[in-house]
Chains A and B, each alone.
Chain A
Amino acid sequence: MTRHRGRGIASINYPIGMNLGGDPSQALVHSNPSGKFTVALSSIDLGQGMKSVTRQICAETLGVPVEDVYVDTADSDTGPHCMGSFASRGTHRVGNAVMAAAREARGVMMEAAAEELEVNAADLDTDGRGNIHVKGAPHRSISTKDVAIAAQFKQGKTISGRGIFLVPLSEVNPETGEMSPATCYAHACLVAEVDVDDETGEVAMVRMDSAYELGRALNPRLVEQQLVGGAWMGVSHALYETTEPDYPEPAHGPRDFVEYLMPGPGDICPHDIAVLERPAPDGPFGAKGPGEMCANPVLPAVANAIFNAVGVRIDDLPITPEKVLRAIKAQGGARPQARR
């Protein structure tokens, strides 16, 4: 028995969101009489940080403290429409919708403040700490709370805004077959190192090194969380997970967490990640999306690393010990490739 070390590389070019039907998401932003703001969304936060990042985007656009913004994703029946949380589209699509809504709400807020301070709205600015002041004259100031109260009880205005982000639908050119299915691409490159046991066919992860280009990282800790967890999911897809039965009989398919295999805490490996920030022209504050694409480069990199280790090319996922062993047997033994 020998364990063979192999190294594989993969690069991906990942389109953010979808194009079919324009991939829209909507957001509504309004202030309460307390001067705090609510963002209404139907976009679901599965723990990936949708609420945190849309809260940041809203606060930054309005010019108010992040503590003054509450994101409500309670009900997709009554909330504004959203296509959903998938395809790495949340930060980009929903973020853009929130930005548009917050921009409109900011306009109303500044008009209401201008009326109270008896100045032109164009001469006003926010300080990001909950106050609106005359540019160059910070002592001529009013709190966003007092503006909200005046709008609500005196001026009869709602400080609110509507936002939608809709990608123009790209038709196929009948002459050339060309189309532009996406407006924004993220990129990644990942190197995987594995050990392949030529007696058992087992593949053990040794380490991963990756670089992700995902626009501006609006919340670096959440981005890191996605990249670390997403790579693990990529390993899981590459080596373990399948809903197909092991034998051609549906009753033998996995039904629960005992039979549906996933790597455990002992199967992870060191993963060194570099995040490259190259702002996207059409992203909210330059952000793309670090969601689904986190898992994608891992699968081809692992498949390439297995080829590098023992010379077998498995093109069917997951790459189970059985497939590796059968392939090694078919080629008459392990054939380690040159290390690069």
Chain B
Amino acid sequence: MSKVPLQFRHNGRDVAIFVDGGTNLLVALRELIGDMTPKFGCGQGGCGTCSVLIDGELHLSCLTLAETVGGRSIETLDGMKQGPNLHPLQRAFADHFAAQCGYCTPGMLMAAKALLDRNPSPSRDEVIEAISGNICRCTGYEPIINAILAAAGGRVSA
């Protein structure tokens, strides 16, 4: 299979790679860019842990053909922290014990960011809807929902 040249923005930085035709974005990010923050869970859109933002919109990177993101802007968890400072959502997740094993956390944080970027003060039901494509095995969701609501309300310790 021939290689396809591909350029896009990855967390604010221009990147250029060659991908095999048919490669999905998750593989391109992890194996070619070296960004390991999007996780492989099921590979068919059932768990949400590979979630990334494409031009600000939430997408499952395992179901996105890498070739379709040429010229677009990809955000992953790797770009969430600003220098040494955690993003308010990351701070809120830590404060609210919203992670245990941590495998769902990158996808949860990206789903939460997609929500707060377009709706800074969501209701509890809107938060539940926003993370409904993401499976968590450990927390029972309640701490995650509370963390997102706290981040939205600015109730996060510095």
Contacts from A to B (Cβ < 8 Å)? 46-48, 221-222, 224-225, 228-233, 256-258, 262, 264-266, 268, 271
Contacts and interface: CB of A to CB of B under 8 A. Distances in A.
Contacts of B129: 266
Interface string B120-138: 0000000011011011111
Given A228-B143, A229-B139, A47 B100 contact: yes
A258 B60 CA distance: 14
| B-side interface size class | 20 to 34
Which of B100, B132, B145 is packed against the most chain A CB atoms within 10 Å?
Answer: B100
B131 to A, nearest CB: 5
B141 A232 contact: yes
* Secondary structure type dominating chain B contacts: loop
Interface stretch (B25-33, B42-50, B71-79): B42-50
B39 to A, nearest CB: 12
A229 B131 contact: no
A140 B12 CA distance: 58
Contacts of A266: 128-129, 132
Contacts of B137: 233, 262
Contact of B138 (A229, A264, A268, A271): A229
Contact of B142 (A233, A256, A258, A271): A271
* 6 cross-chain pairs, A with B, having the tightest CB-CB distances, nearest first: A232-B140, A47-B100, A258-B46, A47-B101, A257-B46, A265-B141
B63 to A, nearest CB: 12
B139 A225 contact: yes
A258 B100 CA distance: 22
B76 to A, nearest CB: 20
Contacts of A268: 140-142
